[in-house]
Amino acid sequence: MTRPGQTTAPLLDVRDLTVEFRTSEGVIKAASGVSFDLNRGEIVALVGESGCGKSVTAMAILRLIDDPPGRITDGEIHFDGRDLLREPIETIQAIRGDRIAMVFQEPMNSLNPVHTIGDQVLEPLHLHKGLTKSAALARAIALLQSVRISDPARRYGDYPHQFSGGMRQRVMIAMGMGCVPDIVIADEPTTALDVTIQAQLLELLKEQVDRQHTAMLLITHNLGIVARYADRVNVMYAGRIVESASADDIYDRPSHPYTIGLLQSVPRLDRPVTEKLVPIEGQPPDPLDLPPGCPFQPRCRFATDVCLREDPPLRRLDDTHEIACWVDV
């Protein structure tokens, strides 16, 4: 959806995305009716607790959801004049790594242990840009350099297990940015790393993004990262977007009870030290057994009758701020 006042179409336009998973105990709607967009050069964050559907949404954009057990059952994803959900898989494969790249969380395993990191960085270059291995070699080494891997020519032939977690993630970034994508999707890029490394890596990512005017979809549960790096924020809960606003607005004028609760439960430097942290009561809902009406309602201080019966749609608060809530807080 273009926002009022915006003249160009967004780079990526996700509408009503719904992803279901079939399990032995029933069908889970991991994402339901998710809509947001992304403009060139913007950093948009998808924020939420574990299990809220943000990673699933990100993976759905590149159709990386394993089927079975998952399935994209509804929605449209517009990119470059096409609906990615309706294109043949070959088109998507051509886009992956080239126009839209993904940087994953780093458990030990996102890099292939039996191939050198050099070969893995080189692979998208060879695949999408048609560079021969030798031509791509120089470029790959330059990429490793740009992510601050020291002695890149030598380390090119090393294996993933010879790198630390932080360095592996830099390699992932190099791999993702190699073909100068229009969009990079970063799924919890720093969650598995030490706090000090996290900062370095995010700066690196931002630098890459700024330099090439790439758009970034940043998936995270860390509100601190969001505050510093994101231009716009979408807060997700139980598979839905519950609030969408600029980063400033989210922090200054949070309007959805969940967002308010999140911000109150996180320590902030601009508040008195003695102010108490207020946790959100209750547990995230069981995706197999969602409560009737608004999914947040059992934990919501402001819940009214209608909240118990009807699932609120997204509504505008102003030009750039939307919430999915019946109540005006």
Partner 1 sequence: MGRFVAVRLFHALIVLIVVVVLVFIFARLMPGDALLVAVVSSNIDVDTAKAVATLRAQYGLDQPVYYQFFRWLTDFFIGDWGESIGTGEDVLDMFLERLPVTLQLFLWAAVWAYAIGIPIGIVGALRRNTKTDMALTTAALIGVSIPAFFEALILIYLLAVLLPIFPPSGFVPFGDDAWGNIMSMAMPGFVAGTGGAGLIARYVRSSLLEVMRQDYIRTARAKGLPESAVVRHHAMRPAMIPVVTVIGLAWTGVLGGLFIIEVIFALPGLGRMTVDAIFQKDFPVIQATLIVASLNVLLVNLAVDIVYGYLDPRVRVQ
- What residues line the site for partner 1 (CB under 8 A)? 62, 64, 90, 93-98, 101-102, 104, 107, 109-115, 123-124, 127-128, 159, 161, 172, 175
Q: Quick one: tokens of 303?
A: 């819940």
Q: Spell out the long-range contacts of 89-92 with Cβ–Cβ below 8 A and sequence spacing 24 or more.
A: 89/63, 92/62, 92/63
Q: Which is nearer to partner 1, 89 or 195 (CB)?
A: 89
DSSP letter assigned to residue 161: G
CB of 76 to partner 1, least distance (A): 21
| Residues 222, 191 contacting (CB under 8 angstroms) | yes
CB of 88 to partner 1, least distance (A): 12
Q: Which is nearer to partner 1, 128 or 155 (CB)?
A: 128
Q: Which is nearer to partner 1, 43 or 61 (CB)?
A: 61
Q: Which is nearer to partner 1, 17 or 62 (CB)?
A: 62
The DSSP bridge pattern shows strands 26-38 and 12-23 to be antiparallel
Strand partners, 186: 103, 218
CB of 113 to partner 1, least distance (A): 6
Extended strands (E) in the chain? 12-23, 26-38, 43-47, 70-79, 82-83, 100-103, 183-187, 215-220, 232-237, 240-246, 315-318, 321-323
Q: Which is nearer to partner 1, 119 or 231 (CB)?
A: 119
CA–CA separation, 28 vs 56, rounded Å?
12
**DSSP helix/strand/coil, 51:** coil
Q: Which is nearer to partner 1, 192 or 324 (CB)?
A: 192
CB of 55 to partner 1, least distance (A): 11
Q: Quick one: tokens of 286?
A: 């069981």
CB of 217 to partner 1, least distance (A): 13
Q: Which is nearer to partner 1, 95 or 235 (CB)?
A: 95
Q: Which residues of 115-140 are buried (b: 16+ CB within 10 A; e: fewer)?
A: ebbbbbbbbbbbbbeebeeeebbebb
* CB count in 10 Å sphere of residue 80: 11
CB of 110 to partner 1, least distance (A): 5
